[in-house]
């Protein structure tokens, strides 16, 4: 075996299989190996003991900052708040220019245009949730209009939700077709498909939904909306990263992973990076392929960064609120 064989090996000549029927999709997904819950949780517990110190901690913090989709998804969102968020995403710590900017700002469709106007042509992308986020309970027609709205307002990325009801009741073809249609509606925009792993409940479902979304054309698969009781968990993320890794190996197409909901601390963020590092590997350790959907996480990363530099803890007021 060559050294390349000892990593994740992605042959760019292979192709994503065409899915022509629901029965073909079902056969493909049900033929996948199951996930043992105890095993995957045990693996995460072990990875969580990794101790990331000194310079590796510094670079992990910077990497994590660059992977943040700085998010606000509240009914009370205002243009002012979005402006503040965009400014912060561009330059998270105005006093330190070495701090990288975030990956994106994530908002509802009606605020996309405003975010676009603030961010201009900067490196920070505008992401919009769409498809009747967060429940996904609308007709396909409405969902597609929602997407078209966001894209025409300037969204670079669209975060859609899958129809969990359809998935859980076995209407996989419907879920697949919806993603295909949304992908088409996205045009140039990148599509992130939210699985809402907390509602899929089992890891078997998480693995199958991940494959379904990737087969249907997702550019990213994302854990959660952040709006339900169970959001991103390390085991769900691990299963999704394994799926992205295996999908890349077998089809040559590389799909990103986004974890969202409940990630507030540097410690959590670093433990996700450890999972990426030891499961999918170096290729995914970039904002192009791994994201954190979060809001308060950014300030904790900045605080920890200063703490690393100063050797003492800093007060929270050092950084702006949302």
Partner 1 sequence: MSEERLDVRKTYKLLINGAFPRSESGRSYKVETATGEFLANVAQGSRKDVRDAVVAARGVQQKWWGATPYNRGQVIYRLAEMAESRRAELREHVMLCEGLELEVADRLVSRTIDTMIWYAGWTDKITQVLGGANPVAGPFFNFSLPVPSGVIGIVSSQDSSFEGFVDAALAPIAAGNTVVALASERRPTPAVLLGEMTATSDFPPGVLNVITGVTSELAPVLCAHEDVDGVDLTGVAPEDVDELNVVAAGSIKRVFRLRDVDDDALRRIRAFVETSTVWHTIGQ
Partner 2 sequence: MGESLANSQLGAFAYDPAPESTSVVNLHASYGLFIDGEFTEPSSHEHFVTLNPANEELLATIAQSSEADIDRAVRSARRAYDTVWSKTSGAERAKYLFRIARLIQERSRELAVLETLDNGKPIRESRDVDIPLAAAHFFYYAGWADKLDYAGFGVNPRPLGVAGQIIPWNFPLLMAAWKLAPALAAGNTCVLKPAESTSLSALALAEILQQADLPPGVVNIVTGDGASGSALVEHDGVDKIAFTGSTEVGRLIQQRTASSQKHLTLELGGKGANIVFEDAPIDEMIEGIIDGIFFNQGHVCCAGSRLLVQESIADEVLRRLVRRVDQLRVGDPMDKNTDIGAINSAAQLSRIEELTAYGEREGATRYTSSCVLPEKGYWFAPTIFADVAQSHRIAREEIFGPVLSVLTFRTPEEAVVKANNTKYGLACGVWSEKGSRTLWVAQRLRAGVIWANTYNRFDPTSPFGGMRESGFGREGGRHGLEGYLDV
Specify whether the CB–CB gap between 191 and 155 falls below 8 A. no
Least distance between partner 1 and beta carbon 30 (Å):
17
Is 318 an interacting residue with respect to partner 1 (CB under 8 A)? Answer: no
Nearest to 112 by CA among 85, 134, 139, 140: 85
Q: How many CA atoms lie within 13 A of 75 on its CB side?
A: 2
Q: Name the DSSP letter for residue 51.
A: -
Q: For 178, phi and psi rounded to 5 degrees?
A: -60, -45
Chosen from partner 1, partner 2, none, partner binding at 245 (C-beta under 5 to 8 Å by type): partner 2
Specify whether the CB–CB gap between 153 and 116 falls below 8 A. yes
Which is closer to partner 2, CB of 13 or CB of 18? 13
Least distance between partner 2 and beta carbon 38 (Å):
6
Which is closer to partner 2, CB of 30 or CB of 296? 30
* Piece of the chain touching partner 1 by CB under 8 A; list 138-146, 162-170, 200-208, 280-288: 200-208
Least distance between partner 2 and beta carbon 37 (Å):
9
- Exactly one of 23, 56, 122, 202 binds partner 1 (CB under 8 A); that residue is 202
Specify whether the CB–CB gap between 97 and 126 falls below 8 A. no
Which is closer to partner 1, CB of 167 or CB of 203? 203
Specify whether the CB–CB gap between 112 and 153 falls below 8 A. yes
Chosen from partner 2, partner 1, none, partner binding at 129 (C-beta under 5 to 8 Å by type): none
Least distance between partner 1 and beta carbon 34 (Å):
10
Q: Site residues for partner 1, window 292-311 (CB under 8 A)?
A: none
Is 184 an interacting residue with respect to partner 1 (CB under 8 A)? Answer: no
Chosen from partner 1, partner 2, none, partner binding at 202 (C-beta under 5 to 8 Å by type): partner 1
5 flagged as catalytic: no
Nearest-angstrom CA–CA distance, 40 and 316? 35
- Exactly one of 38, 76, 97, 312 binds partner 1 (CB under 8 A); that residue is 38
- The size of the interface with partner 1 (CB under 8 A), counted in residues, is 8
Least distance between partner 2 and beta carbon 233 (Å):
16
192 flagged as catalytic: no
Strand-pair category, 157-161 with 190-194: parallel
Least distance between partner 2 and beta carbon 59 (Å):
8
Q: Which residues bind partner 2 (CB under 8 A)?
A: 1, 3-13, 33-36, 38-40, 42-43, 49-57, 59-60, 239, 242, 245, 248, 254, 273, 277-285
User: What three-state secondary structure class fits 227?
Assistant: coil
DSSP string, 130-199: -SSTTTT-S-HHHHHHHHHHHHHTT-SEEEEE--HHHHHTT-HHHHHHHHHHHHHHHTTSEEEEE--HHH
Q: Residue 276: which residues within 8 A CB-CB, separation 6 or more?
A: 241, 257, 284, 285, 290
322 flagged as catalytic: no
The residues binding partner 1 (CB under 8 A) are 36-39, 41, 201-203
Residues with catalytic annotation? Answer: 159, 222, 258
């Amino acid at each position: 075996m060559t050294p390349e064989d000892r990593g994740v090996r992605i042959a760019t000549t292979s192709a994503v299989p065409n899915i022509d029927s629901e029965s073909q999709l079902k056969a493909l997904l049900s033929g996948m190996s199951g996930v043992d819950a105890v095993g995957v949780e045990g693996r995460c517990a072990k990875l969580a003991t990794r101790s990331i110190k000194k310079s590796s901690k510094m670079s992990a913090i910077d990497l994590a900052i660059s992977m943040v989709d700085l998010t606000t998804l509240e009914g009370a969102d205002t243009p002012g708040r979005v402006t503040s968020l965009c400014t912060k995403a561009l330059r998270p710590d105005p006093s330190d220019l070495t701090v990288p900017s975030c990956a994106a700002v994530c908002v509802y469709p009606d605020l996309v245009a405003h975010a676009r106007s603030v961010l201009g042509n900067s490196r920070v992308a505008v992401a919009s949730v769409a498809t009747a986020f967060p429940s996904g309970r609308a007709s396909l027609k409405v969902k597609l209009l929602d997407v078209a709205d966001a894209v025409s307002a300037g969204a670079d990325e669209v975060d859609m939700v899958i129809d969990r009801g359809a998935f859980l009741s076995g209407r996989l073809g419907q879920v697949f077709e919806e993603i295909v249609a949304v992908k088409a509606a996205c045009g140039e925009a990148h599509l992130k498909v939210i699985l809402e792993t907390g509602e899929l409940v089992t890891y078997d479902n998480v693995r199958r939904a991940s494959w379904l979304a990737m087969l249907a054309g997702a550019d990213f698969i994302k854990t959660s909306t952040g709006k339900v009781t169970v959001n991103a968990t390390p085991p769900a993320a691990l299963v999704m990263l394994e799926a992205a890794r295996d999908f890349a190996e077998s089809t040559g197409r590389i799909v990103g992973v986004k974890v969202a909901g409940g990630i507030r601390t540097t410690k959590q963020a670093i433990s996700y990076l450890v999972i990426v590092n030891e499961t999918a590997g170096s290729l995914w350790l970039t904002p192009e392929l791994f994201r954190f959907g979060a809001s308060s996480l950014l300030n904790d990363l900045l605080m920890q960064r200063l703490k690393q530099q100063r050797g003492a803890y800093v007060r929270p007021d050092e950084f702006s609120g949302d």
